[in-house]
C-alpha cells in the first residue's frame, strides 16, 4: 500500500508546475555552478602554484633563512602554503576566504591574503554552488511538495476517498513521505550526474577514491536534509486544515530555517559573546609592546654607557672591538626582548582567537537548530572547506611556528651594526651554520583527512539530521492519525 | 449489513451531531436518510468510515465494529460522496486502478476497468481523459464505478445525486438499484424526497441528530412523503 500511494504521489508531483519549475532551475544551476566553481578553483590553484614556486625556489637555493631579529617578514621560504580543496567545487565554504599562506615570522604567525577573492556579485550575495542549490532550491521544493499533502487533499476531497478504503493511515502518510522523497531525489541525482559530466568534460574528475566517498557523504547528507524538510512539511500539513494556511506556515518556517536562523545565529553569538575588531587588537598589541620597547632602549643605552661611551653618540661605534662587544650585548638583549614581544603578541592574539572560537561555537550551536545549517556544516566537512579545516590549519601552523622558533627565530646569530649610513649585519660563517637551510627545515604538509575521520567529524550532523527526520515524521504520523477528515 | 447501535457523536465544540442512533440496514435493502442540513446524515456516514470517532455507541459493518477494526470494516463498505473528488491529473482508468488497488484488488485488467466504465454509462472517449476535465455527473459515475469494483457488500452514499441533472440522477439511481439487486445493504442520505420514496425500501427522517421517523415502502404507499417530512420538521421545531 505504501508503494501504491508513493507511486501516485510521484506521478502527481512529476506533473506539477512547482516540480517542473524548481527541478529545471536546479538542473540548470547545478552543472553551471560546477563549471564556474571549477574555473574558480583553478584560479585559486594557479595562485597557489605561484606561491609554491617562490617557496620551492628558496628550498632549492641551498640558502638559509635570515635568523633572529633580522629575519625577513615576508620570506617565501618561511611560509605555510595552503592548497585549495578540490571539492570546493561542490561547496566553496572557507576555501576562498582562508589565507593562501601563513607567514612564519620571529614575532609570530601572520596570515597572508585570502586564496581566492570573489570579485563578482558572489561576494555580495553568496556563492551559487551545489550546496546552495540543495539548501535553497531543493529545500524549497521539499516544502512545496509537502505543504498540501494532507490539508490540500482534505480540501480537494480526495483524502476522504482514500480513507474510505481499507488502508491504514500510517501507510498513507508513509506513502506520501516515500513518494515525496523519490521525487526529490530525482533532481538531486540528475543534477549530480550532470555536474559530474561537466567536471569530466573539464578534466576535473571527482570519481576517484576518497573524493568519491566524500561526494557520497555530501549527497547522502543532502538526502537527509531534504527528507527532514519533507517530513516537516508533512507534519505542518497534517496539523492544518487549509492548504493556504500550511503553505504560509511552511514558507515562514522555510525562511526561518534556511535564511534567518543560520545568519541570525551569528548575530546572537556576536551579541552574547562579542569579540573586538582586529584593528583594536592590533592597537592593544602596540600599546602592550611600548614598555618592552622602552625597556629595550633603556637597556641598550645602559650597555653602551657601561662601555664608557657617550649616550649621545650611541649606535655609531667606530672601534671594531667596541662594536663587537656592544653588538654581542645588544644581541643578547634583543633576543630576550623579541621573545617577550612574541609572547605578548601571542597571548593577546590567542585570547582573541579563543573568544572568536567561543563566539563561532555558539553561533554554530544555534545555527545547527536549522537542518539547513546542519547540512551546510556536514557538506563543508565532506568537501574539506568547513570550519574544521580552518581550525586544523591554524593549529598545525601554530605548531610549525613553534618548531621554527627553536630552529630559526630564536637563534639570533650575528648582530646588527649601526653606522651613520644605516645598519648592516655582522655574522660569521660559523654563526650561519647554526641555522638549517630552507631545505633542511621541516615542511608543513597537511594531508587530507581520511574518509573515516571525515565521517566521524560529520557524525553529529548526520545524527542530528536523522533525529530531525524521525521526530518530524513521527509528529506527522501522530497528527495524521488524529486528523479530522470531515 | 449495516448497524448503528446507540451511535452518538458530540463534537469538541459541544454540538450534539448524532444522538443515540439505532438503525439496521439488511443486505438487499436501500435505506434513505432524509433531513435538513446539520441533521446528522453525513455524521452517520462519517462514523461508518472511521472519518471521526463516536462519542458513544457503535457503528457495525457485517458484525465488525468500525471503531475497533476500521480496516476490516472498510473492506466491507463502499463510499460515494456528494461530490466525488478524484485525482485530477489521472485519467478515469488510472483513478479506477488506484482506488481498486487501495481496496485490495490488484487483479483487474484494463478491460475490466473499461467494462465497468461502460456499465456506469461513461462515454468511451472519457476513459483515458484526465478527470480534472470531467463534469460532476461524470465524476459521480466514476465514483459508483469505484464502488462497484470494490465489490463490498455494503454501500454508503452521501447525497450522491445532488446537483446532477435529471437524466444523470435517474441513471445513477438505476445503478443503485442494480447494486441492491446484487444483495448490497445501502444507506443513502439525500434531500431528494421523490427519489427516496421511489427507490428506498425504507426511509428515515433525521432531525437534530435523532432518527425521528422510519417508514417502509409499504407504509409510505399513498402517503405524501413531502408533507410528512415538513410536518416532522415543524413538529420537532415547535416541540423544541
pLDDT greater than 60 at residue A182? yes
Q: Say if the Cβ atoms of A165 and B89 lie within 8 Å.
A: no
Share of chain A above pLDDT 70, in %: 91
pLDDT band per the 50, 70, 90 thresholds, residue A60:
confident
Mean pLDDT of all residues in A421-447: 68
Q: Select from A1, A168, A485 the Cβ nearest to the Cβ of B51.
A: A485
Interface contact A166-B74, CB threshold 8 A: yes
What residues of chain B lie within 8 A of the CB of A172, using their CB? none
The label of the residue with cell 465524476 reads B139
Using the predicted structure, report yes or no on whether residue A438 has a pLDDT greater than 70.
Answer: yes
Give per-residue pLDDT as tens, A387-432.
Answer: 888 888 888 999 998 888 888 777 755 555 444 455 555 555 555 6
Residue with cell 491504514: A168
Which range of A328-332, A427-431, B34-38 scores highest in mean pLDDT? It is B34-38
Domain ranges of chain B: 2-76+153-239, 86-151
Pick the more confident residue, B81 or A468.
Answer: A468
- What are the grid coordinates assigned to A164, written together? 474510505
- Chain B positions touching A158 (Cβ under 8 A) are 85-87
Band of residue A486 on the pLDDT scale cut at 50, 70, 90: confident
Best B18, B87, B140 residue to mutate vs chain A (most A CBs within 10 Å): B87
| Å between A369 CA and nearest CA of chain B | 35
* pLDDT of the residue at A61: 84
| Position A343 in a domain | no
Given an 8 Å threshold on Cβ–Cβ distance, is A160 in contact with B79?
A: yes
Say what the pLDDT of residue A429 is.
54
CB nearest to B87's CB, from A12, A160, A484: A12
Residue A320 counted as domain residue: no
**Chain B partners within 8 Å of A157 (Cβ):** 81, 83-85
The domain total for chain A is 1
- Kindly report which listed range (A22-36, A257-271, A418-432) carries the lowest average pLDDT score: A418-432
Cα of first residue to Cα of last residue in chain A, in angstroms, is 23
Report d(CA A121, CA A126) in Å as an integer: 8
- Which residues of chain A have a CB within 8 Å of the CB of B89? 11-12, 15
User: Residue A440's pLDDT band (boundaries 50, 70, 90)?
Assistant: confident
Distance from CA of B127 to the nearest CA of A (A): 18
Nearest to A166 among B71, B83, B84 (CB): B71
pLDDT tens-digit profile of A301-326?
Answer: 888 888 887 777 655 656 777 777 77
d(CA A79, CA A110): 10
pLDDT at residue A118 in the model: 61
The span from the CA of A418 to the CA of A335, in Å, is 17
Cα(A326)–Cα(A329) distance, integer angstroms: 5
Indicate which of B38, B87, B102 best probes the interface with A, i.e. most A CBs within 10 Å of its own CB: B102
Q: What percent of chain A has pLDDT over 90?
A: 52
**Would an 8 Å CB–CB cutoff place B52 in contact with chain A?**
yes
**Structure-model confidence comparison of residues A431 and A3, the more confident one:** A3
CA distance to partner chain B, nearest, from residue A260 (Å): 36
How high is the pLDDT of residue A430?
54
Angstrom distances, CA of residue B8 to CA of A240, A265, A378, B186: 26, 52, 54, 21
Would you call B99 an interface residue with chain A, using a CB distance cutoff of 8 Å?
A: yes
Any domain includes A136: yes
Residues A157-172: tens digit of each pLDDT: 899 999 999 999 999 9
- How far apart CA B118 and CA A267 sit, in angstroms, is 67
DSSP lists the bridge partners of residue B210 as B207
Q: Which residue of A has its CA nearest to B47?
A: A486
Q: Which phi and psi angles does A139 have, rounded to 5°? A: -60, -40
Q: Give the number of residues written for chain A.
A: 486
DSSP string, A376-426: HHHHHHHHT-SHHHHHHHHHHHHHHHHHHIIIIIT---SEEEEETTEEEEE
Kindly report the number of other CB atoms within 10 A of residue A398's CB atom. Answer: 17
How many residue pairs bridge chain A and chain B with CB atoms within 8 Å of each other?
A: 67
Q: Is B104 on the interface with A (CB under 8 A)?
A: yes
Of residues A414 and A473, more confidently modeled: A473
The answer to the question of residue A196 being in a domain is yes
A324-348 average pLDDT score: 84
Provide the sign of the torsion angle of the four alpha carbons A360, A363, A366, A371, taken in this order.
negative
CA separation for the pair A274, A272 (Å, rounded): 6
pLDDT band at B2 (very low <50, low <70, confident <90, very high): very high
- Give B189's contacts (C-beta < 8 A, 6+ positions apart): B32, B33, B34, B35, B41, B42, B44, B45, B157, B158, B159
Residues of chain A found within 8 Å of residue B85, distances taken between Cβ atoms = 156-158, 160-161
Q: Are B33 and B206 in contact (CB under 8 A)?
A: yes
Once rounded to an integer, what is the mean pLDDT over residues A334-358? 88
The values of phi and psi at residue B61, to 5°, are -120, 120
**Residue B3 has what DSSP assignment?**
E
Distance from CA of A201 to the nearest CA of B (A): 39
| Predicted pLDDT of residue A447 | 79
Per-residue DSSP letter, A418: E
Cα-trace Rg, chain B: 18
As a whole number, mean pLDDT of residues B15-39 equals: 92
Chain A residue with Cα closest to B155: A164
Angstroms from B67 CA to nearest CA on chain A: 13
**Inter-chain contact A164–B78, Cβ cutoff 8 Å?**
yes
Residue range A104-157, pLDDT digits in tens: 888 788 889 888 766 655 555 567 889 999 999 999 999 999 999 999 999 998
C-alpha–C-alpha distance, residues A98 and A288, integer Å: 28
CB-CB under 8 Å, A486 with B51: yes
**Cβ–Cβ below 8 Å for A163 and B103:** no
Task: Report chain B's mean pLDDT, rounded to a whole number.
Answer: 88
pLDDT at A297: 87
The C-alpha atoms of residue B133 and residue B89 are separated, in whole angstroms, by 9
Residues in chain A with CB shorter than 8 Å from the CB of B83 are: 157
A213 pLDDT exceeds 60? yes
Cα of A182 vs its chain's centroid, Å: 31
Q: Which residues of A touch B75 (CB under 8 A)?
A: 166
Minimal Cβ distance to B99: which of A1, A15, A161: A161
| Segment (H or E) for A81 | strand A79-81
pLDDT bucket at B48, cuts 50 / 70 / 90:
very high
Beta bridge partners of B188: B32, B157
**Calpha distance A144→A21 (Å, rounded):** 11
Lowest-confidence segment of A378-382, A428-432, B90-94 by average pLDDT: A428-432
Q: Do A8 and B87 touch (CB under 8 A)?
A: yes
Distance of CA A378 to the CA centre of its chain: 11
Whether B140 and chain A come into contact, CB under 8 Å, resolves to no
What is the three-class DSSP state of A454?
helix
Cβ distance B51 to A160 less than 8 Å, yes or no, reads: yes
Residues of A engaging B, defined by a Cβ cutoff of 8 Å: 1, 4-5, 8, 11-12, 15, 156-158, 160-168, 484-486
Residues B132, B137, B138, CA angle at the centre, nearest 5°?
Answer: 50
DSSP state letter for B54 = -
Looking at beta carbons, which residues of chain A come within 8 Å of B103?
165-166
* C-alpha cell at position B16: 450534539
* Shortest alpha-carbon distance between residue A178 and chain B (Å): 17
Our CA dihedral for B231, B236, B237, B239, rounded to 10 degrees, sits at: 120
Whether residue A229 is predicted with pLDDT greater than 90 in this model: the reply is yes
* Best of A150, A157, A164 to mutate (most B CBs within 10 Å, chain B): A164
Task: State residue A67's pLDDT score.
Answer: 65
Mean pLDDT of chain A: 87
pLDDT at A324: 74
> Alpha-carbon distance B204 to B222, whole Å?
17
Let me know if residue A116 belongs to a domain.
Answer: yes
Asked which of A246-255, A298-307, B48-57, B97-106 is least confident by mean pLDDT, the reply is A298-307
Angle at B153 between CA B149 and CA B157, to 5 degrees: 75
CA distances from A157 to A380, B73, B123 (A): 44, 21, 24
Contact B52 A160 (CB under 8 A): no
CA distance A143 to chain B (A): 21
pLDDT over 90 (residue A480): yes
In three-state secondary structure terms, A109 is strand
> How many angstroms separate the Cα of A301 from the Cα of each of A256, A319, A340, A419?
64, 17, 19, 16
CATH of domain B2-76+153-239: 3.40.50.300
Within 10 angstroms of residue B224's Cβ, the number of other Cβ atoms is 12
Lowest mean pLDDT among B51-65, B146-160, B208-222: B208-222
Cell of B113: 476497468
Question: Chain A within 8 Å of B187 (Cβ-Cβ)?
Answer: no
Domain that holds residue A65: 1-272+368-486
Q: Which of B81, B86, B99 has its CB closest to that of A165?
A: B99
SS3 (DSSP) at A393: helix
- Helix, strand, or coil (residue B154): strand
Nearest by Cα to B30 from B227, B232, B175, B208: B175
Of the candidates B52, B83, B102, the beta carbon closest to that of A486 is on: B52
Q: CB A1 to CB B102 under 8 A? A: yes
Q: Exposed e or buried b for every residue in A325-346, given b needs 16+ CB within 10 A?
A: ebbebbbebbbebbeebbebbb
In this prediction, residue B239 carries a pLDDT of 46
Backbone angles phi, psi at A66, to 5 degrees: -70, 130
What is the ipTM score, two decimals?
0.91
What was the pLDDT predicted at B47?
A: 94
**Residues A83-102: tens digit of each pLDDT:** 998 889 889 888 888 899 99
Given B74, B85, B101, which is nearest A158 (Cβ)? B85
Segment A363-371 shows an average pLDDT of: 94
Joined grid coordinates for residue A257: 530555517
Render B213-239 in DSSP notation, one character per residue.
EEEEHHHHTT--HHHHHHHHHHHHHHH
Amino acid at each position: 500500500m505504501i508503494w501504491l500511494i508513493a507511486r501516485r504521489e510521484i506521478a502527481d508531483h512529476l506533473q506539477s508546475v512547482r516540480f517542473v519549475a524548481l527541478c529545471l532551475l536546479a538542473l540548470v544551476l547545478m552543472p553551471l555552478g560546477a563549471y564556474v566553481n571549477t574555473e574558480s578553483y583553478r584560479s585559486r590553484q594557479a595562485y597557489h602554484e605561484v606561491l609554491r614556486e617562490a617557496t620551492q625556489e628558496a628550498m632549492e637555493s641551498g640558502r638559509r633563512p635570515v635568523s633572529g631579529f633580522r629575519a625577513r617578514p615576508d620570506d617565501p621560504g618561511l611560509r605555510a602554503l595552503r592548497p585549495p580543496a578540490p571539492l570546493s567545487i561542490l561547496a566553496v565554504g572557507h576555501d576562498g576566504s582562508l589565507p593562501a599562506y601563513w607567514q612564519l615570522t620571529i614575532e609570530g604567525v601572520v596570515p597572508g591574503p585570502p586564496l581566492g577573492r570573489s570579485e563578482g556579485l558572489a561576494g555580495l550575495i553568496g556563492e551559487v554552488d551545489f550546496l546552495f542549490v540543495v539548501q535553497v532550491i531543493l529545500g524549497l521544493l521539499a516544502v512545496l511538495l509537502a505543504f498540501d499533502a494532507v490539508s490540500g487533499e482534505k480540501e480537494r476531497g480526495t483524502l476522504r476517498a482514500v480513507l474510505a478504503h481499507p488502508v491504514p493511515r500510517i501507510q498513507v502518510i508513509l506513502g506520501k513521505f516515500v513518494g515525496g522523497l523519490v521525487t526529490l531525489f530525482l533532481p538531486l541525482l540528475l543534477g549530480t550526474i550532470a555536474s559530474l559530466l561537466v567536471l569530466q568534460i573539464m578534466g576535473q574528475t571527482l570519481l576517484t577514491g576518497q573524493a568519491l566517498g566524500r561526494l557520497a557523504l555530501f549527497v547522502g547528507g543532502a538526502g537527509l536534509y531534504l527528507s527532514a524538510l519533507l517530513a516537516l512539511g508533512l507534519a505542518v500539513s497534517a496539523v492544518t486544515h487549509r492548504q493556504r494556511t500550511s503553505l504560509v506556515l511552511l514558507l515562514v518556517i522555510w525562511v526561518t530555517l534556511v535564511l534567518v536562523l543560520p545568519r541570525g545565529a551569528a548575530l546572537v553569538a556576536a551579541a552574547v559573546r562579542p569579540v573586538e575588531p582586529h584593528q583594536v587588537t592590533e592597537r592593544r598589541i602596540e600599546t602592550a609592546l611600548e614598555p618592552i620597547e622602552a625597556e629595550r632602549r633603556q637597556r641598550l643605552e645602559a650597555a653602551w654607557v657601561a662601555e664608557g661611551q657617550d649616550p649621545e653618540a650611541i649606535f655609531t661605534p667606530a672601534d671594531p672591538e667596541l662594536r663587537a662587544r656592544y653588538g654581542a650585548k645588544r644581541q643578547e638583549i634583543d633576543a630576550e626582548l623579541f621573545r617577550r614581544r612574541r609572547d605578548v603578541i601571542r597571548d593577546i592574539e590567542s585570547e582573541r582567537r579563543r573568544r572568536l572560537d567561543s563566539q563561532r561555537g555558539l553561533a554554530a550551536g544555534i545555527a545547527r537548530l536549522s537542518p539547513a545549517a546542519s547540512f551546510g556544516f556536514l557538506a563543508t566537512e565532506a568537501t574539506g572547506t568547513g570550519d574544521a579545516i580552518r581550525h586544523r590549519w591554524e593549529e598545525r601552523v601554530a605548531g610549525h611556528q613553534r618548531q621554527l622558533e627553536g630552529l630559526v627565530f630564536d637563534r639570533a646569530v650575528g648582530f646588527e651594526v649601526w653606522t651613520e649610513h644605516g645598519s648592516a649585519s655582522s655574522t660569521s660563517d660559523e654563526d650561519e651554520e647554526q641555522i638549517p637551510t630552507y631545505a633542511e627545515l621541516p615542511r608543513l604538509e597537511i594531508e587530507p583527512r581520511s574518509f573515516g575521520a571525515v565521517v566521524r567529524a560529520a557524525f553529529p550532523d548526520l545524527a542530528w539530521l536523522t533525529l530531525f527526520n524521525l521526530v518530524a515524521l513521527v509528529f506527522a504520523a501522530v497528527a495524521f492519525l488524529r486528523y479530522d477528515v470531515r | 449489513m449495516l448497524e448503528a447501535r446507540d451511535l452518538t457523536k458530540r463534537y469538541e465544540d459541544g454540538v450534539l451531531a448524532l444522538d443515540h442512533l439505532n438503525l439496521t440496514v439488511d443486505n438487499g435493502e436501500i435505506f434513505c436518510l432524509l433531513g435538513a442540513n446539520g441533521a446528522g446524515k453525513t455524521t452517520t456516514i462519517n462514523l461508518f468510515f472511521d472519518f471521526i470517532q463516536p462519542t458513544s455507541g457503535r457503528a457495525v459493518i457485517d458484525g465488525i465494529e468500525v471503531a475497533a477494526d476500521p480496516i476490516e470494516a472498510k473492506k466491507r463498505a463502499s463510499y460515494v460522496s456528494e461530490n466525488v473528488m478524484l485525482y485530477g491529473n489521472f485519467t478515469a482508468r488510472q483513478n479506477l486502478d488506484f482506488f481498486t488497488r487501495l481496496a485490495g484488488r490488484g487483479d483487474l485488467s484494463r478491460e475490466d476497468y473499461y467494462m465497468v466504465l461502460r456499465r456506469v454509462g461513461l462515454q468511451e472517449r472519457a476513459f483515458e481523459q484526465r478527470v480534472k476535465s470531467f463534469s460532476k455527473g461524470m465524476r459521480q459515475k466514476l465514483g459508483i464505478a469505484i464502488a462497484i469494483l470494490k465489490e463490498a457488500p455494503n454501500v454508503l452514499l452521501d447525497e450522491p445525486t445532488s446537483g446532477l441533472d435529471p437524466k444523470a440522477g435517474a441513471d445513477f439511481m438505476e445503478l443503485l438499484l442494480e447494486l441492491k439487486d446484487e444483495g448490497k445493504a445501502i444507506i443513502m442520505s439525500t434531500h431528494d424526497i421523490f427519489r427516496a420514496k421511489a427507490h428506498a425500501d425504507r426511509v428515515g427522517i433525521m432531525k437534530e441528530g435523532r432518527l425521528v421517523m422510519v417508514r417502509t415502502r409499504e407504509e409510505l404507499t399513498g402517503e405524501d412523503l413531502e408533507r410528512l417530512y415538513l410536518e416532522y420538521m415543524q413538529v420537532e421545531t415547535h416541540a423544541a
